[in-house]
Structure 1
Amino acid sequence: MPFGFFRKTKKREDTNIASRKPVGRFRVEKSLKVFSRQVLIGEVIEGLIYPGYKVKGKSVSPIMKIERDHRRVDFAVAGDRVALMLEYEVPCEEGEELEIYQS
């Protein structure tokens, strides 16, 4: 199909964290819904974040895409203000710090 949002997605139960130690931290400034996906806007506090890594808060979700200044980027480093598009919703509040784990 030509549209990505019609594709089947994995079930939430399939999302596990492989690493024991977080590779980064992300501070949430705002949470939005875009095309039925959650987008977290905020700052990378420490570490390096790639698409495919997982965000852990009250639940876990893979990062599908990272954008900086409305442009897709391959990674984000400490100090970057970015938007993370997630596969699943992660309940979080403004100012909350989420851990980032390698897949």
Structure 2
Amino acid sequence: MELSLFRRIFRKKEKSDVEIVSKHPVGRFRVEKSLKVFSRQVLIGEVIEGLIYPGYKVKGKSVSPIMKIERDHRRVDFAVAGDRVALMLEYEVPCEEGEELEIYQS
């Protein structure tokens, strides 16, 4: 029993554990480029509308939390419409150049 509790507390999150709680997106992001950095997916593109914070979720063909946001190679606390940023994701979200992804609050 104790080992089971230990596993539940310290287990690594799986992709299937990521859920979107809110019904309406808080923003949209247009992908210009997708690349891998240290085995993490990084999406480079423009915030089309809304406000994006780390911890928010990107939804395309799958869902992933945003771990970090960078603008001009510097970490920022948020991104607003018109910003060209890089989003480091926890999981991979299959997407193509020019695709628009929805952003949801966590």
Of 96, 100, 104, which residue of structure 2 is paired with 1:93?
A: 96
Tell me how many residue pairs correspond in the alignment: 96
Q: Is 1:57 paired with 2:46?
A: no
Question: In terms of Rg, which structure is larger?
Answer: 2
Q: Is 1:23 paired with 2:33?
A: no
Aligned-residue offset at 1:13? 1.1
Gaps of 5+ in 1: 1-7
1-side partners of 2:21 and 2:70: how far apart? 24
Deviations for 1:32-63, whole angstroms, at most 9, x for unmatched residues? 00000000000000000000000000000000
Larger relative helix fraction: 2
CA-based RMSD of the aligned residues comes to 0.8
Taking structure 1 as the reference length, the TM-score comes to: 0.91
**Identical-residue share of aligned pairs (%):** 90
Taking structure 2 as the reference length, the TM-score comes to: 0.89
1-side partners of 2:75 and 2:65: how far apart? 16
